[in-house]
Chain A
Amino acid sequence: MSPTSPLTSTPTTTDVLVLGADLAGAGPANLLIRDGVFADPADARPDAVRVDAYGLVALPGLVDLHTHLREPGREDAETVTTGTAAAARGGYTAVLAMANTSPVTDTAEAAEHLLDVGRATGTAQVVPIGAVSKGLAGEELAELGLMARSPAQTRVFSDDGRCVADARLMRRALEYVRAFDGVIAQHAQDPRLAGPDACCDEGPVSGRLGLPGWPAVAEAGIVARDVGLAELTRSRLHVCHVSTAETVDVLRWAKARGIAVTAEVTPHHLLLTVDELLGYDPTFKVNPPLRSAEDVAAVREALTDGTIDVVATDHAPHARHDKEHAFVDAAPGMLGLETALAVVVETMVRPGTLGWREVATRMSSVPAHIARLGGQGRPLAVGEPANLTLVDPTRRATVDRAASVSLSRNNPWHGRDLPDPVVATWWAGRATYGR
C-alpha cells in the first residue's frame, strides 16, 4: 500500500478492494469492504479504492479486553477520543473499558453514558465493563443485572485495580452473572499479602532496592480460590493480567478439570522483567509488577499452549505528574494499545511460537467471545462486519513516546527497537487508521 493512500478519508460509501493480503495465515486473497461489511471481491465496482496488500497480513480487527480510557474523570490522562485513536493505531476495533473511572461504572446509567460517548467520539467500539461492587469498595454487588440489560449489554464485570478479596462477595458475583451469561474479570491480588504499597516482584530485586514486595503467591492464591468458586457456581471467571508461573500452574490445573476459566496476559509481562526497576523509573511501575525471566518464559509458554487464552493490553494512561513521584508513590500502569501487536510479533510470532491464525484467535476472536461481542472477532469472510487490520510482518521502528496518539506518555517501550506492524485499520468498514 502506498504511504500516500488516502485511507483515513475514504468515505464508507466507496468500495475498498484490498488485494493480495494473507488472511491470517490462510494465504493471499482479496477482500472487498462495502457498506461496513465484507462483500464478494468479484463484485467490486470499477471505481473501488484499491489497496495493494501483497506481502501484508490481514487480521480481524483486534479486541482489547482490558483498556483504561480514563473518561469520565481523568480526561487529562486519556479520553474516549484519544484512547480509541490509540486503539485504532494499534490495530484494535473494539476496546473494553475498565470500570475504575470517576464516577465508577457501577450503574446502568454510567454504562450507557460511556456507550453513548463511545458512539459519538470513538474510532473503535467502546464496550463498558461494569464494576463488580458498588464504588469498587468490595462490599456490595453493583447493579450487575441492570447493566447487563441496559443498551450497553454489559457482560464483563471487574473491580480491576482492586481485587474482589472477599470470598463470599466473589462467590455471589459469580453466581449472579450466570443469569445473563456474564463473566467476572478478577484482578487477583491478595491485599493482605500484597498491600497497596506493594510495587515490586518479591525477590532479589525488591530485597536489594528496598521496595515493598508483591509475592507471586498473592496472585496465584486468589486465582486458586476463584477457580474453586467458579467451579462451585458453574460460572465464568476471567483472570486479568496473569504475571507469574505459579498462576499458570493453577490455570492449567483448573482447565484440565473443566472449570470455565479464561485468562489474559499483557504485552509487558510477555517481554519485560523486574530488572527494568533497577533504575527506579516509575514508567515501569505496573500492577501486577514486572516479574522474573522465569515468569516471562512461563506466560509465553502458557499463551502458546492456550492455558492463557488472550493478550490484553491493560492500557493505563497517566498524566505526567502522576508518574513523577517516588517509585512507591507513583501511579501504576503503562500504555499498551499502540504497541501490543508489536510486542506479540516480537515475542511470539518472530520466534515462530505463534502463527498469524493464533494471533487472530488470541487478540480478536477469543476476547470478543469472552465478552460476548457478536460483531467483533469474526472471520474475514463475505457478510461479516468489515473489522480489519492490515499488518506488515517485517517493518520495525524505534518507539518514540512523543509520536503516540494517546494523551499520555508513560510508554515503557520508548527508545526500543520493535516491530511496527500495523499499516491500516478499518472498523465496521470505516478507515480508522492508515499510513
Chain B
Amino acid sequence: MRHLLSAADLDAAETTGILDLAEEMALVQGRPVKKLPALRGRTVVNLFFEDSTRTRSSFELAGKWLSADTINISAKGSSVSKGESLRDTVLTVASMGVDALVIRHMASGAPLQAARWFAELGLGVHVVNAGDGTHEHPTQALLDAFTLRRHFRASQPDAGRDDHQPFAGRRIAVVGDITHSRVARSNVELLTTLGAGVVLVAPPTLLPAGVDTWPVEVRDDLDRVLGEVDAVMMLRVQRERMSGGYFPTPREYTVGYGLTRARLGLLRPGTAICHPGPMNRGLEISADAADSAGSLILDQVAAGVSVRMSVLYLLLGGADESGAVR
C-alpha cells in the first residue's frame, strides 16, 4: 500500500488485513505503557487545512504510540485566500523529509492531487486521506468497520455464521445527509467490499446525484428500515445545510430522520448504533439513542486510534519479514 486515499482502493483482503492488525494494535491500548518502537525515527505530519480535533488527535496518538515523530500543521483557511497554491503548500511540507503526510482538506480530491504531485516529482512520501471535502474519509470507514466487526462477532445472533465473514448477510443503514458526507461515501465503498448490504436513508434533497448507480438500496422511510438492519449509522447534520433549503426545519428533520427515543423501540435487539461525531444531540440522534446499550459511539472513537496505527504501520513498512509487529 503506497497511499490511503480512498476506501474504494481497498479490496476485501487488504481491508481485513488492516482490521486484523488494528486488533493487535488495540491490545497496546490496554497496556500501561502504550508505545511500540515500530516507527521510531519516522516522521508523520498531520497537515490539516480544516479543523478536526477528533481526527487530528487520533492520528497524533496513533503516530506517537508507534514511536513516530508526529507534527501537526494547521493550514487554516483556503490556500487560495492565502495566495499560495495547494501544490506549493504540500510540496513544502513533503520536502522536509517527511515519511507520511496525513491530509485533511475542505476540498474533495486534495489528498489525491497531492499524491499525484509527489509521484510526478518522485517524492516517496505516503499520503493518508484524513477527510477531503464531501468525498471520502477512509480511516473513518475502517474504524466503523472495525467497531462493527467486533460487535457482530460478539453478538452472533445467527447460529453458524462464519467468523471470517462477519459482514456477510448484514444490512447496515446509513441515515441522513448522504450528499455532503464523506463518511457515507467511504462506508458505502468499504462495507459493500466487505460483503454487507448498505441501505441509505435520507430525504431526496440529501441524496447525491447518481446514487442509483451505487451498489446500495435507497429508502426514505426510516421507520420501516430500522427493524430490518443490523446497524444504523447516523450522520451528522451540518449547520449550514439547515439554511440551505435542504429541509424545512430542524424539527421536521428530526421527525423524519432522527433516531428518536420512540424509534429505538423499532430496532431489533442487538442492533448497533453508530455516529461519526460530533453529534447534534436532539437533532439527528436523541440522547437516549446515543447513550443506549446498543450505542457503539465511544467504541468508534477508541477504534480510531487502533485503525490509524494499523494504517500508518502498514504504509511505513513497520512489519518485519514475517509480517509480525515488532
Partner-B contacts on A (CB < 8 A): 202-211, 213, 215, 279-282, 321-322, 324-329
B13 at the interface (CB under 8 A from A): no
State which of B54-62, B133-141, B315-323 sits at the interface with chain A: B133-141
B209 touches A206 (CB 8 A): yes
Partner-A contacts on B (CB < 8 A): 78-80, 85-88, 105, 107-110, 112-113, 116, 132-136, 179-180, 182, 185, 208-211, 213-214
Assembled-state Cα–Cα distance A211/B134 (Å): 7
Q: Which 5 A-B pairs rank lowest in CB-CB distance, beginning with the nearest? A: A204-B210, A280-B109, A326-B107, A207-B208, A210-B135
Assembled-state Cα–Cα distance A79/B78 (Å): 29
Q: Which residues of B contact A281 (CB under 8 A)?
A: 113, 116
A324 touches B85 (CB 8 A): yes
Q: Which residues of A contact B88 (CB under 8 A)?
A: 321, 324
Q: Which residues of B contact A327 (CB under 8 A)?
A: 107-110, 113
A-B contact pairs, 19 of them (CB 8 A): A207-B179, A208-B185, A208-B210, A209-B135, A210-B182, A210-B185, A211-B108, A211-B135, A215-B209, A280-B113, A281-B113, A324-B85, A325-B80, A325-B85, A325-B87, A326-B110, A327-B108, A327-B110, A327-B113
A329 touches B109 (CB 8 A): no
Q: Which residues of A contact B180 (CB under 8 A)?
A: 210
Q: Which residues of B contact A321 (CB under 8 A)?
A: 85, 87-88
Q: Which residues of B contact A324 (CB under 8 A)?
A: 85-88
Assembled-state Cα–Cα distance A202/B208 (Å): 9
Q: Which of B80, B182, B208, B213 contacts A329 (CB 8 A)?
A: B80
Q: From residue B22, how far is it (CB to closest CB) to chain A in Å?
A: 26
Assembled-state Cα–Cα distance A202/B210 (Å): 8
Q: Which residues of A contact B107 (CB under 8 A)?
A: 325-329
Q: Which of A204, A325, A326 contacts B209 (CB 8 A)?
A: A204
Assembled-state Cα–Cα distance A362/B175 (Å): 51
Assembled-state Cα–Cα distance A224/B129 (Å): 43
Assembled-state Cα–Cα distance A205/B135 (Å): 11
Q: From residue A171, how far is it (CB to closest CB) to chain B in Å?
A: 28
Q: Which of B85, B87, B136, B211 has the most CB of A within 10 A?
A: B85
Q: Which residues of B contact A211 (CB under 8 A)?
A: 108-109, 133-135
Write the chain A residue with the least CB distance to B78. A329
B86 touches A325 (CB 8 A): yes
Q: Which of A202, A205, A208, A325 contacts B79 (CB 8 A)?
A: A325
Q: Which of A205, A206, A210, A282 has the most CB of B within 10 A?
A: A210
Q: Which residues of A contact B79 (CB under 8 A)?
A: 325-326, 329
Assembled-state Cα–Cα distance A280/B135 (Å): 11
B209 touches A203 (CB 8 A): yes
A210 touches B78 (CB 8 A): no
B209 touches A202 (CB 8 A): yes
A213 touches B209 (CB 8 A): yes
User: When A207-B208, A208-B185 are in contact, do A328 and B108 touch as well, CB less than 8 Å?
Assistant: yes
Q: Which of B86, B133, B213 contacts A210 (CB 8 A)?
A: B133
Assembled-state Cα–Cα distance A207/B216 (Å): 14
B86 touches A329 (CB 8 A): yes
Q: Which residues of A contact B213 (CB under 8 A)?
A: 204, 207
Write the chain B residue with the least CB distance to A322. B85
A279 touches B134 (CB 8 A): no
Write the chain A residue with the least CB distance to B8. A208
Write the chain A residue with the least CB distance to B135. A210
Assembled-state Cα–Cα distance A83/B75 (Å): 36
Q: Which residues of A contact B78 (CB under 8 A)?
A: 329
Assembled-state Cα–Cα distance A206/B210 (Å): 8
Assembled-state Cα–Cα distance A322/B182 (Å): 26
Assembled-state Cα–Cα distance A206/B133 (Å): 12
Q: From residue A318, how far is it (CB to closest CB) to chain B in Å?
A: 12
Assembled-state Cα–Cα distance A282/B182 (Å): 21
Q: Which residues of A contact B86 (CB under 8 A)?
A: 324-326, 329
Q: Which residues of B contact A279 (CB under 8 A)?
A: 112, 116
Assembled-state Cα–Cα distance A204/B209 (Å): 6
Q: Which residues of A contact B132 (CB under 8 A)?
A: 210
B209 touches A209 (CB 8 A): no
Q: Which of B105, B185, B208, B211 contacts A326 (CB 8 A)?
A: B105
User: When A324-B85, A329-B107 are in contact, do A210 and B209 touch as well, CB less than 8 Å?
Assistant: no
A210 touches B210 (CB 8 A): no
Assembled-state Cα–Cα distance A127/B135 (Å): 43
B210 touches A209 (CB 8 A): no
- Besides the contacts A210-B182, A324-B88, what 7 more A-B pairs have beta carbons closer than 8 Å? A203-B209, A210-B134, A210-B180, A211-B109, A282-B113, A324-B87, A329-B79
Q: From residue A265, how far is it (CB to closest CB) to chain B in Å?
A: 24
Q: Which of A203, A215, A280 contacts B108 (CB 8 A)?
A: A280
Write the chain B residue with the least CB distance to A277. B109
Assembled-state Cα–Cα distance A329/B105 (Å): 12
Q: From residue B19, how far is it (CB to closest CB) to chain A in Å?
A: 24
B109 touches A209 (CB 8 A): yes
Q: From residue B49, how far is it (CB to closest CB) to chain A in Å?
A: 9
Q: From residue A371, how far is it (CB to closest CB) to chain B in Å?
A: 35
User: When A280-B113, A325-B86 are in contact, do A210 and B136 touch as well, CB less than 8 Å?
Assistant: yes
Write the chain A residue with the least CB distance to B188. A208
Q: From residue B225, how far is it (CB to closest CB) to chain A in Å?
A: 21
Q: Which of A205, A325, A329 contacts B210 (CB 8 A)?
A: A205
Assembled-state Cα–Cα distance A205/B85 (Å): 25
Write the chain B residue with the least CB distance to A206. B209
Write the chain A residue with the least CB distance to B107. A326
Q: From residue B203, how far is it (CB to closest CB) to chain A in Å?
A: 16
Write the chain A residue with the least CB distance to B189. A208
Q: Which of B110, B134, B210 contacts A203 (CB 8 A)?
A: B210
Assembled-state Cα–Cα distance A282/B116 (Å): 12
B108 touches A209 (CB 8 A): yes
Assembled-state Cα–Cα distance A208/B179 (Å): 9
Q: Which residues of B contact A204 (CB under 8 A)?
A: 209-210, 213
Q: Which residues of A contact B185 (CB under 8 A)?
A: 208, 210
Q: Which residues of A contact B210 (CB under 8 A)?
A: 203-208
Assembled-state Cα–Cα distance A329/B179 (Å): 19
Q: From residue B64, how far is it (CB to closest CB) to chain A in Å?
A: 29
Q: Which residues of B contact A206 (CB under 8 A)?
A: 208-210
Q: From residue B78, how far is it (CB to closest CB) to chain A in Å?
A: 6
Q: Which residues of B contact A280 (CB under 8 A)?
A: 108-110, 112-113
Write the chain B residue with the least CB distance to A215. B209
